[in-house]
Structure formats: C-alpha cells, structure tokens
Amino acid sequence: MSKTIDADLVRHIGKLSRIELGDAEVETLGRQIGAVLEYFDKLQQLDTEGVEPMAHAIELTNVLAEDVLKPSLTPDQALANAPARDENFFMVPKVLGESS
C-alpha cells in the first residue's frame, strides 16, 4: 500500500496552485500524489553530498542583449484574447476596498 497525503495537505497545495478542488478530487489526488511522492523518495538512496545542483543542462551564463527598442505587441494584439477588457485594461473583480 503506497502512502497517501492527507486531505488538509491536498487542500493546502490546491490553494498554493490556485486550483479549486472538490471533495472527491481531494481524495483521489491525495492517493495519486502520495504514490508519486513515494516514487520520488527513491532519490534518497543516492548520496549527493557535495554535488552541485544542475538547473540547466547547457549552462549558458551572462546572455546579454543590446538595450534597444524592438517591435512588440500593440495593446490591441495583447488584449485580443482577454476574457474581459475595458479599453486598454484587463478586467478583474475589484481587488482593493472602498476606502482607497
């Protein structure tokens, strides 16, 4: 039997991930994520003392570009796929309170 992570932890990760979860989903994900995490634990068998972490396989450093203006998207192009728009703004529910 593989390990399961508890419902509170699943909900916490759901919140970090900005994904709303139903109760049935919490149960299934707890089981599935638990199984994968157990698989991840396999790496603990390896001694990595003193090994430098490798974030990129081809380690390019200091990639610089000239600081010049280049063509980019127009506001209309950038907003063309917006689900809700007001002139040149993306629309979202009110974030700040009444007293600003």
Partner 1 sequence: MSNITEMSAASLACAIAGGEITSVQSTQAYLDAIEAREGDIQAYNEVLADHALQQAREIDAKIAAGQNPGPLAGVPIAIKDNLCTTYGHTTCASKYLTNFQAPYMSTAVAKLQAAGAVIIGKCNMDEFAMGSSTENSSVKITRNPWDISRVPGGSSGGSAAAVAGDMCAASLGSDTGGSIRQPAAFCGVVGFKPTYGRVSRYGLVAFGSSLDQIGPLTKTVTDAALITGVIAGHDDHDATSLPNPVPDYLADIDKPVENLRIGLPTEFFAGAAGALSPDVKAAIDQAIDTYKNLGAEIVEVSLPHSRIDIDEAGGLSSFAVACYYIVCTAECSSNLARFDGVHYGHRTNDELTDIIELYSRSRAESLGDEVKRRIMLGNYSLSSGYYDAYYNKALKVRRLIAQDFAKAFENCDVILCPTTPTPAFKIGEKTDNPLEMYAADIFTISVNLAGLPGISLPAGFSNDDPKLPIGVQLIGPVLSEENLLRTARMFEKNRIQDSVETKTEHEFHG
* Residue in the structure block whose two tokens are 């994904």: 19
Our separate counts of H helices and E strands in the chain read: 3, 2
Q: Which of residues 10-29 bind partner 1 (CB under 8 A)?
A: 10, 13-21, 29
Q: How far apart are CA 3 and CA 38, in angstroms?
A: 7
Figure out which of the listed residues 88, 92, 98, 99 binds partner 1, where binding follows CB under 8 A.
92
Is position 89 an interface residue for partner 1 (rule: CB under 8 A)?
no
Q: Exposed (0-12), middle (13-18) or buried (19+): which is 27, by Cβ within 10 Å? A: middle
Residues that bind partner 1 (CB under 8 A): 10, 13-21, 29, 32-33, 35-37, 39-40, 42-46, 48, 51-58, 60, 63, 65, 73, 77-78, 80-84, 90, 92-95
